Amino acid sequence: MSSGYCAGSVIPIIETVVRLSRECRSRPRRWLEKARAATVADWSKSELTGGCIRCSAGLLKLLKELRVEAKIVLLPGDGIGPEIVAVAEKCLGAVADQFGHQFHLQSALIGGIAIDQTGTALPDETLEVCKAADAVLLGAVGGPKWDDPTASVRPEQGLLKIRKEMGLYANLRPIRTYESLLDASPLKNEIVRGTDILFFRELTGGIYFGNSGQREENGEELVFNEMAYRPSEIERIVRLAGEAARKRREKVTSVDKANVLEVSRLWRRVAASVMKEEFSDVEYDVVLVDAMAMHLLSRPRDFDVVVTGNLFGDILTDEASMLTGSLGLLPSASIGSDGPGLYEPIHGSAPDIAGKGIANPLATLLAVAMLLRHSLALETEATAIENAVDGVLEAGHRTADLARGGPSIGTQEMGQLVIDALSR
């Protein structure tokens, strides 16, 4: 880095790098990347004034070209999981080759396959390697083989546990329609065109994590699941939603069921307070979840950032997938305050098409793009994947879920087209 550059330019960079390397001691593989992002940002804010223009420009270029070394854990899981993660693995390899990065990929067990091999849906070893990684990519878990309602262990428990144990409280689910796919949606073009919503689904609280149990009452079995939230759990996700809205169209919609549920009244009170006190510049409204299910299909363009609880977010985003044309198109990022993020398509293991080689791999490839952007700060690489997906769809290639009975291609073929488009 030093040769040919004057000290005035080099010193601020070295200082930034050293400071960040100290701050990031717990995550040694990330510090250089953080240093790069911070220094580039500092520079663009003209905070580093010591360097001459030639050296500053040269060093900035150098920093942008730094190679990244990262450890990524792959959790293929069940059903179509292994098929779509195989495509993602190939794509990560292509990105590494093209941009000169080194991604150390390691696979681990989760879900039904983990139950079969170890008796538990999330082996300790899996959790350990995931916590030690820079990022995690998941396929999907579950399937009829493990669906016995009396079973004591279920694949889905593995997913809930990894989210909780890794502190991944925010699930970002972008819903964006593609001009080339408007006809794939069962809704009218004029309704879905231009939809661009970012859901923030709370991921480690609510009814999926509340107390549950059963008892006998009046001679009859009674089973319950409790939906509970603490103010702190609501505050942090609403804060993330507010911050995201500032970088988008500056609007947050909070979705609840406050006309019926006590827990939703807490949600509404806390969300309103965070928005008023910290984001008074951002437009804010609230919608009841049942009405939201309808508004999403009648006026989706009116929404920018939507923040909601675990259960409502799960259901509304599967519904919203129909705006884009297929569940097979939607990626997600699960993030916490610190540590690695977990990236996955929003769909499940699709047992009805598993093993047929026809699953749409685009949601998973777009999840790879989110991984590169959010966990590795590789914006250019993330955008390259998103542009490649756009290009392949614009060229008319369709997997069966998007083909509406017309000609279609398989999982691997679709994946390869995206990978080929990356280098163009």
Ligand X SMILES: CC(C)CC(=O)C(=O)O
Using CB under 6 A, list all residues that contact ligand NAI.
80, 140-143, 156, 159, 327-328, 344, 347-353, 359-360, 363, 401
Among residues 42, 196, 302, 318, the one annotated as catalytic is 318
- We find the least distance from the C-beta atom of residue 308 to ligand X, in angstroms, to be 13
> DSSP assignment of 73-87, as one string?
EEEEESTTHHHHHHH
CB atoms within 10 A of CB 346: 25
User: Taking CB under 5 A as the rule, does residue 202 contact Mg ion?
Assistant: no
Spacing of C-alpha 66 from chain mean position: 25
- Decide: 418 and 393 in contact? Cβ < 8 Å: no
Segment interacting with Mg ion (CB under 5 A) among 68-76, 119-127, 314-322, 328-336? 314-322
Q: Is 358 annotated as a binding residue?
A: yes
Whose Cβ is closer to ligand X: residue 85's or residue 346's? 346
For 136-230, where are the alpha helices, taking DSSP H only? 155-165, 189-192
User: Taking CB under 6 A as the rule, does residue 130 contact ligand X?
Assistant: no
Q: Quote the CA–CA distance of 120 and 107 in Å, as a whole number.
A: 17
**Which tokens go with 199?**
């859901």
Residue 338 annotated to the active site? no
- We find the least distance from the C-beta atom of residue 313 to Mg ion, in angstroms, to be 9
Whose Cβ is closer to ligand X: residue 110's or residue 421's? 110
Q: Is 348 annotated as a binding residue?
A: yes
Q: Quote the CA–CA distance of 326 and 88 in Å, as a whole number.
A: 18
Segment interacting with ligand X (CB under 6 A) among 131-139, 153-161, 298-306, 414-422? 153-161
Q: Is 93 annotated as a binding residue?
A: no
DSSP strand pairing (220-225 vs 212-217): antiparallel
User: Taking CB under 5 A as the rule, does residue 89 contact Mg ion?
Assistant: no
- We find the least distance from the C-beta atom of residue 62 to ligand NAI, in angstroms, to be 40
Residue 251 annotated to the active site? no
User: Taking CB under 6 A as the rule, does residue 314 contact ligand X?
Assistant: yes
CA-based nearest residue to 291, from 257, 243, 326, 268: 257
Residue 314 annotated to the active site? yes
Among residues 257, 284, 343, 401, the one annotated as catalytic is 257
Among residues 97, 116, 183, 290, the one annotated as catalytic is 290
Question: b/e for 380-394, b at 16 or more Cβ within 10 A?
Answer: ebbebbbebbebbbe
Q: Quote the CA–CA distance of 121 and 144 in Å, as a whole number.
A: 15
**Which tokens go with 105?**
């990929």
- We find the least distance from the C-beta atom of residue 415 to ligand X, in angstroms, to be 22
* DSSP code at position 144: G
- We find the least distance from the C-beta atom of residue 424 to ligand X, in angstroms, to be 33
**Which tokens go with 158?**
């593995």
Whose Cβ is closer to ligand X: residue 146's or residue 178's? 146
User: Taking CB under 6 A as the rule, does residue 335 contact ligand X?
Assistant: no
* DSSP code at position 361: -
- We find the least distance from the C-beta atom of residue 367 to ligand NAI, in angstroms, to be 11
CA-based nearest residue to 195, from 371, 330, 33, 78: 330
Q: Quote the CA–CA distance of 38 and 17 in Å, as a whole number.
A: 9
Residue 208 annotated to the active site? yes
Residue 257 annotated to the active site? yes
Among residues 284, 314, 343, 401, the one annotated as catalytic is 314
HSE-up of 193 (CA within 13 Å, CB side)?
Answer: 6
Whose Cβ is closer to ligand X: residue 12's or residue 331's? 331
CA-based nearest residue to 137, from 209, 78, 77: 77
Q: Among ligand NAI, Mg ion, ligand X, none, what does residue 56 contact (CB within 5–8 Å per kind)? A: none
Name the site residues for ligand X (rule: CB under 6 A).
156, 159-160, 314, 346
Write out the binding residues for NAD(+).
143-156, 348-360
Write out the binding residues.
143-156, 163, 173, 201, 290, 314, 318, 348-360
Write out the binding residues for Mg(2+).
290, 314, 318
